[in-house]
Amino acid sequence: MTNTAQTIDQAKLDEFMGRFVGDLGAAVSSALVVIGDKLGPCRAMGDGQPLTPEELAARTGTDARYVREWLSNQAAGGYVSYDPDAEQFFLTPEQSLALAQERSPARLEDNLNPVGRVCYGASTLVCTPASRDQEVGLALGAQAGEAQLGEVVTAGGFTRFRRATETPFNLVLEARP
């Protein structure tokens, strides 16, 4: 390997490193977002009231020490807010709408955002290959939408199909014979 002198553009290096650290933070935080969805701390913070980690742990039946670390990660990512004077965490109305309320877009143009990026990434790496490997192989994708899923369900012999509820990340659909 030849070592030749290269001129480094500091602004380009800073931009690259910012992108790299941002992607690394997103990768590490992705598992914590799933944990938060499963254990419910965002839903428990949905009222916007500031809470200590101990108070949130009591609301969710979880360990306060883990909750402190989880909250710190989420605050560093801008997913929750932190009041250093009170040493409390809270959701702004915007954070609550995105993370704690039961709403979710289902159209491609509504999903061209960081959440859509995650969903389409997971679909590309996990869901689509798994579907393609099956006999039917429909590979509906991360954001198939209620109408397309309804067509598949009714084609499968179900006569009743409806949206039971939804979360910020999922539609919960009900199919009955």
Q: Domain ends where: 66, 99, 132?
A: 99
Of the residues 68, 99, 130, which one is the last residue of a structural domain?
Answer: 99
Please check whether residue 159 lies inside any domain of the structure.
yes
For residue 105, what pLDDT is reported?
A: 46
Each residue's pLDDT tens digit, 124-152: 777 777 777 878 777 776 566 778 788 88
Residues 114 and 156 in one domain: yes
pLDDT above 70 as % of the chain? 89
DSSP assignment of 61-128 equals T--HHHHHHHHHHHHHTTSSEEETTTTEEE--HHHHHHHTSS----SGGG--SHHHHHHHHHIIIIIH
pLDDT at res. 45: 95
- Indicate whether 94 and 26 sit together in one domain: yes
Cβ atoms of residues 130 and 154 within 8 Å: no
Q: Is residue 139 part of a domain?
A: yes
DSSP letter at 143 equals T
Cα separations in angstroms, 48 against 30, 85, 140: 23, 17, 36
Q: How confident is the model at residue 166 (pLDDT cuts 50, 70, 90)?
A: confident
Q: Let me know if residue 5 belongs to a domain.
A: no
Domain assignment present for residue 2? The answer is: no
Q: What is the DSSP string of 14-48?
A: HHHHHHHHHHHHHHHHHHHHHHHHHH-HHHHTTT-
Domain check: are 39 and 73 in the same one?
yes
* Total domains, the chain: 2
Instruction: Give the pLDDT of residue 104.
Output: 42
Which of 66, 81, 99 terminates a domain? The answer is: 99
Domain annotation covers residue 10: no
Q: If you average pLDDT over each of 40-44, 47-51, 96-100, 110-114, which comes out highest? A: 47-51
Stronger pLDDT, 97 or 106, i.e. the higher one:
97
Q: Does residue 28 fall inside a structural domain? A: yes
The domain that holds 32 is classified in CATH as 1.10.10.10
Q: Which domain holds residue 84?
A: 18-99
The model's pTM: 0.56
